[in-house]
Amino acid sequence: MYHGVFSGNDTRFNGRFMPIADFKTQLNYFKKNFEILPVKELFENKTNRSNKKQIAITFDDGYKNNFDYALPLLEELKIPASFYITGLNPHQIQAIWSDVVDIYSYFVKKFKFQNLIFEKEPNRKRLYCKEINQDINHYTGFLSQEDKIKLMEELEIAAGFKLSDKKDLSQFHLLMSDAEIKETALSKYVTIGSHGTFHSHMGFIPLEQALNELKYSKTYLENCIGKQIDEIAYPSGSYTKDLIEAAYQLGYHYQLAVDYQYEGDKANNKIMDRIGLYNDRTVVEQLHLVNQQLSKS
């Protein structure tokens, strides 16, 4: 599981993004040492053609940097991958709440919201609230969509600038346009899937609300690319057992978590967990993690 791929080596704003050079090194390693399959084939237990461990490569969130940097490398190396995209574009929202919060957290030293004080502390990238023992990103994840928008608006005021005015920060938050999503879907190496509508923690909202997000995202993406959407990666790996079954009935036959949430999920052929790769480890450490996890499977 990847998120963003960015140029340079500036890791101040997003611990989920991978420098281009590191990403290319990993792709070459995976191609040499594993059989890389599309997600659907991994679910369907296609016959192993090489006696190597089988893996699939996925990207969450639908960043423009996936289009700019990841897609060309996947096509150059002939490696399949799935891109999981939110339904934010029709709502004219150009960034996912978690990225907005991460970036503004770097620039704001103290912030008050809903009578809670979040402050910058040594050795923490994000604003942190001692009262609830949470950083601001974790706290925001469980707010309603309306409160998320309000928090982002107030963070913008506290920071004193709009993200849209800072072109040097765009690769850390900007999402693919509809035109870029359509072009990506034309690649024979990329499958487009859903990542919900608002990047909500779906395991913590009412089932009906979660299903509405999945329905909206599916319709939007199918209209955008003219292809069926049958893959879903749950934002932040959050889901429920009821959601797995209900999403399957909606047509999401290939569902991805981060870590399994419930006993017995590993035996459920409708959902699969993933290994997240982030820039808080060296390339060697990340590849060691992949090999370590796969050795248990």
Ramachandran angles phi, psi of 157, nearest 5°: -65, -45
Specify burial of residue 61 (Cβ count, 10 A radius: 0-12, 13-18, 19+). Answer: buried
Bigger pLDDT: 132 vs 295? 132
Distance CA 99, CA 202 (A): 18
Q: List, as one string, the DSSP characters of 72-112.
A: HHHHHHT--EEEEE-S-GGGT--S-HHHHHHHHHHH-SEEE
How does pLDDT run across 152-191, given as a tens digit for each residue? 999 999 999 999 999 999 999 999 999 999 999 999 999 9
Could you tell me how many helices (H) and strands (E) the chain has, helices first? 11, 14
**Which pLDDT belongs to residue 283?**
86
Q: Does the structure show a pLDDT above 70 at 47?
A: no
**Which pLDDT belongs to residue 297?**
67
How does pLDDT run across 185-239, given as a tens digit for each residue? 999 999 999 999 999 999 999 999 999 999 999 999 999 999 999 999 999 999 9
Q: Calculate the average pLDDT of the chain.
A: 94
What token pair was written down for 172?
């850390």
- Does the reported pTM lie above 0.75? yes
Of the ranges 7-11, 75-79, 227-231, which one carries the lowest mean pLDDT score? 7-11
Mean pLDDT in residue range 82-111: 95
Q: Does the structure show a pLDDT above 90 at 45?
A: no
Nearest to 19 by CA among 218, 291, 278, 285: 278
Domains identified in the chain and CATH numbers? 5-92+174-295 (3.20.20.370), 97-170 (no CATH)
Which residue's structure tokens are 């969509």? Answer: 145
Distance CA 143, CA 139 (A): 7
How does pLDDT run across 57-67, given as a tens digit for each residue? 999 999 999 99
When pLDDT is cut at 50, 70 and 90, the band that residue 284 belongs to is confident
The rounded radius of gyration (Å) of the Cα atoms in the chain is 19
Ramachandran angles phi, psi of 187, nearest 5°: -65, 135
Q: Does the structure show a pLDDT above 90 at 291?
A: no
Which of helix, strand or coil describes residue 190? strand
What whole-number percentage of the chain has pLDDT above 90? 84
What token pair was written down for 213?
């997000």
Residue type, 263: E
Q: Does the structure show a pLDDT above 80 at 130?
A: yes
**Which pLDDT belongs to residue 46?**
66
What separation in angstroms does the CA of 277 have from each of 146, 255, 290?
31, 19, 9
Bigger pLDDT: 91 vs 11? 91
